[in-house]
Amino acid sequence: MSENPDLTNERASGTFETNAMAAVIYGSEKFAQRRREITEAISKIPEFQDSHPLVFMSREEKISEACRKLAVLSNYWNSLIDTSDEEEALHLYREVLGLEGHPLALHETMFIPSLIAQASDEQQEKWLGRAQRREIIGCYAQTEMGHGTNLRALETTATFDISTREFILNSPTITSLKWWPGALGKSANWSIVIANLIIKEHNYGPHPFMVQLRDEKSHEPLPGITVGDIGPKMAFNGADNGFLGFKNYRIPRENMLMRHSKVTSDGSYIKPPHAKIGYSSMVKVRSRMAMDQGLFLASALVIAVRYSAVRRQGYLEDKSREVKVLDYQTQQHRLFPSIARAYAFIFCGFETIRLYDQLLIDVQNGNTSGMADLHALTSGLKSVVTYQTGEGIEQARMACGGHGYSMASYISEIYGVAIGGCTYEGENMVMLLQLARYLVKSIEMIQNGKSRELGPMVAYLAENESEIDLNLGPNEYLKVFEYAARNQTWRATEKFQKLRNSGMSNEEAWNQASVELTRASRLHTRLYIMSTFINHVGSIVDQKVKGVLIDLLNVHVTYEVMDIGIYVQGLLSSNQMDLIRNQLYVSLETIRPNAVSLVDSFQISDMQLRSVLGRRDGNVYENLFKWAKSSPLNKTDVLPSVTQYLKPMMEKSKL
């Protein structure tokens, strides 16, 4: 069937090449091209297609479907991608496995990265190759039933037995059961386990251990190990998040990951070069989250924008034909600022991935000085990005009206998966407070006359802004944001200091200032996102692409400043606020002809989107009917439950 003419017209009105935009989104023409080639190659392999729509499957079927595809994938890895390229591998996974989780998800995102960052050279020699060849399947077991955030209260113990030179793992209580780790329940046969290292009754705190969970032949749990699935979740139901308990389970001394901390065979402990170096696997995932979440948001927007261009409802001036709902200003206001955010998040994502890769090299060379900065940055970023992604996806769902609520849109699945990110890898509020510690320290440096020592990301906290000329473009909006973030950071810090000086304990003063502190963290992070977006657009060479991204940037800066209006009242007059508001409305109109091309440029395939509403060809209605007819409930006209319960009930009522 040919493309819906409404979408054809939208594509014709685009003022730039979507391939050129994809090269900007994905960081290089080469990678954008590789993405397309991989997508194309996959589409030609029938075994990669869903055997029937995932949304009609039970959890068992979803997990089995994912395993089936992984087995097929094992025949194609080397021919489809450059296996040393993490981005290519992740694209392949997204295309083939989708977003509902699968047995190798944590293997790739946490298990292998933990081995790379935490295992010594000899340990890597022993396990990394096996992991990379997928001879073993690993996961990352840190969170327990009783504690996920407060890692110092984890209860699992790894006690060193000097006589046998082994660690004995134990889960002393119900709450000490590992709970939540992805792929732990049924798939993984090995795990990185975070347990308290105990030597001669001294607790050295949480450390990573390489632990075999299941027999490599039979896949049966080994004696001393209790393991299983934690049950259905809000989303991610293709994943077997699990529980894990140990009873006097012994592992050799060599299985503690010893690149940084070490235990010698006589039981001496060697400290790592930085106390939090064991947390690096979390920083790795957090540094990827802006990119991953940007793509979740992008997926929901591809669906909502394409659908809004084929959905006609109501009239504007012309009463002879209903309008595309995308022409309503309210619809544009609902969707376009999110398109800008998705672009901004992906740009930030590339930046933080690069920073992590650099940090990894620095740390391997013994330089840990960048750890605090990246921890602060990624803590704030993961919190703001996951929250705003959730908001944006939910708006995208509502923008699709009734059909948005149907699983045919698939938006609810994207939403459920994306908002998991508000919780995993550090609960958002907790992570905002981690960034706040860093901001408060920065203010204290200024107060102590050490402004010159501030890093580039916080230098603005020591500056001053009194007047803004908004006609000068995005950089002036950046100054508005700097004003807001600076003001809020100072106010929150002063509140904290005042409480502390009044005699309150540090902890209590912190708690009582914490809402204000999280607000400072959000503003600081949004400033970073905006500044990254502006810098990125500034560096683009293709003039047509750059022109459209400047339009999108205008949507972004005006929307974001309106959104934080309450924090800039001391800087902007109500006339200036009106001006910004009007600029936003003009920007929405300017971006309108490029809306479909902007979401097309994400180049997310139909296979990956799994959305009837978001189909590239826009043939929504006939496919919606086809999809509904394929619902298992429609296999028969009269359901057995009607015969068994409703008929007798109705018959009885007749008497």
Ligand X SMILES: CC(C)(COP(=O)(O)OP(=O)(O)OC[C@H]1O[C@@H](n2cnc3c(N)ncnc32)[C@H](O)[C@@H]1OP(=O)(O)O)[C@@H](O)C(=O)NCCC(=O)NCCSC(=O)CCCC(=O)O
Query: Which of ligand FAD, ligand X, none has residue 333 at its interface (CB below 5 to 8 Å by kind)?
Result: none
Q: Are 435 and 524 in contact, with CB atoms under 8 Å apart?
A: yes
Question: 626-630 long-range contacts, Cβ below 8 Å, gap at least 24?
Answer: 627/53, 627/408, 628/408, 630/52, 630/53, 630/56
Q: Are 259 and 277 in contact, with CB atoms under 8 Å apart?
A: no
Nearer to ligand X, 423 or 451 (CB): 423
Helices (H) and strands (E) in the chain, counts: 24, 11
**Minimum CB separation from ligand FAD for residue 250, in Å?**
22
Nearer to ligand FAD, 18 or 241 (CB): 241
Query: Which of ligand FAD, ligand X, none has residue 283 at its interface (CB below 5 to 8 Å by kind)?
Result: ligand X
Query: Which of ligand FAD, ligand X, none has residue 276 at its interface (CB below 5 to 8 Å by kind)?
Result: ligand X
Q: Are 434 and 379 in contact, with CB atoms under 8 Å apart?
A: yes
Helix (H) or strand (E) holding 24: helix 18-25
Instruction: Verify binding: residue 350, ligand X, rule CB under 6 A.
Output: no
**Minimum CB separation from ligand X for residue 383, in Å?**
11
Instruction: Verify binding: residue 182, ligand X, rule CB under 6 A.
Output: yes
Residue where the block lists tokens 């944006």: 392
Q: Which residue's Cβ lies closest to ligand FAD?
A: 148
Query: Which of ligand FAD, ligand X, none has residue 437 at its interface (CB below 5 to 8 Å by kind)?
Result: ligand X
Q: Which amino acid is at 121?
A: D
Instruction: Verify binding: residue 507, ligand X, rule CB under 6 A.
Output: no
Footprint on this chain of ligand FAD (rule: CB under 6 A): 106, 140-143, 147-149, 180-182, 236, 241, 420, 423-427, 429-430, 433
Closest CA to 433 of 498, 367, 524: 524
**Minimum CB separation from ligand FAD for residue 152, in Å?**
11
Taking CA atoms, 331 is separated from 219, 307, 407, 564, in Å, by: 52, 12, 21, 21
Nearer to ligand FAD, 140 or 460 (CB): 140
φ, ψ of residue 621 to 5 degrees: the values are: -65, -45
Structure tokens at 16: 């730039």
Nearer to ligand X, 14 or 101 (CB): 101
Query: Which of ligand FAD, ligand X, none has residue 293 at its interface (CB below 5 to 8 Å by kind)?
Result: none
Q: Which positions ≥6 away from 325 have C-beta within 8 Å? A: 308, 311, 312, 313, 314, 331, 399, 401
**Minimum CB separation from ligand FAD for residue 331, in Å?**
31
Instruction: Verify binding: residue 137, ligand X, rule CB under 6 A.
Output: no
Nearer to ligand X, 375 or 615 (CB): 375
Q: Are 1 and 617 in contact, with CB atoms under 8 Å apart?
A: yes
**Minimum CB separation from ligand X for residue 434, in Å?**
5
Instruction: Verify binding: residue 243, ligand X, rule CB under 6 A.
Output: no
Is position 143 annotated in a ligand binding site? yes
Nearer to ligand FAD, 225 or 305 (CB): 225
- C-alpha 342: how far from chain center: 12
Instruction: Verify binding: residue 279, ligand X, rule CB under 6 A.
Output: yes
**Minimum CB separation from ligand FAD for residue 84, in Å?**
24
**Part of the chain binding ligand X (CB under 6 A), chosen from 150-158, 213-221, 492-500, 608-616:** 150-158
Binding ligand X (rule: CB under 6 A), the pick from 11, 276, 500, 592 is 276
- Report how far residue 223's alpha carbon sits from residue 212's, in angstroms, rounded to the nearest whole number: 11
Helix (H) or strand (E) holding 580: helix 574-591
Instruction: Verify binding: residue 90, ligand X, rule CB under 6 A.
Output: no
Binding ligand X (rule: CB under 6 A), the pick from 22, 158, 227, 283 is 283
Query: Which of ligand X, ligand FAD, none has residue 279 at its interface (CB below 5 to 8 Å by kind)?
Result: ligand X
Decide if 425 is catalytic: yes
Tally of CB atoms within 10 A around 223: 9
**Part of the chain binding ligand X (CB under 6 A), chosen from 32-40, 63-71, 278-286, 588-596:** 278-286
φ, ψ of residue 350 to 5 degrees: the values are: -60, -40
Is position 18 annotated in a ligand binding site? no
Instruction: Verify binding: residue 375, ligand X, rule CB under 6 A.
Output: yes
**Minimum CB separation from ligand FAD for residue 102, in Å?**
13
Residue from 88, 108, 425, 482 carrying the catalytic annotation:
425
**Cα atoms in the Cβ-side hemisphere of radius 13 Å centred on 473:** 9
- Report how far residue 357's alpha carbon sits from residue 385's, in angstroms, rounded to the nearest whole number: 20
Closest CA to 399 of 334, 347, 341, 460: 334
**Minimum CB separation from ligand X for residue 141, in Å?**
9
With CB under 6 A, what is the number of residues at the site for ligand X?
24
Taking CA atoms, 460 is separated from 231, 495, 530, in Å, by: 47, 20, 14
Binding ligand X (rule: CB under 6 A), the pick from 188, 282, 326, 443 is 282
Local structure of residue 256 (DSSP, 8 states): B
- Report how far residue 235's alpha carbon sits from residue 413's, in angstroms, rounded to the nearest whole number: 6
Binding-site annotation, residues: 143, 182
Binding-site annotation, residues for FAD: 143, 182
Interface residue list for ligand X (CB under 6 A): 109, 140, 142-143, 148-152, 182, 276, 279, 282-283, 285, 371-372, 375, 424-426, 430, 434, 437
User: Catalytic positions, please?
Assistant: 425
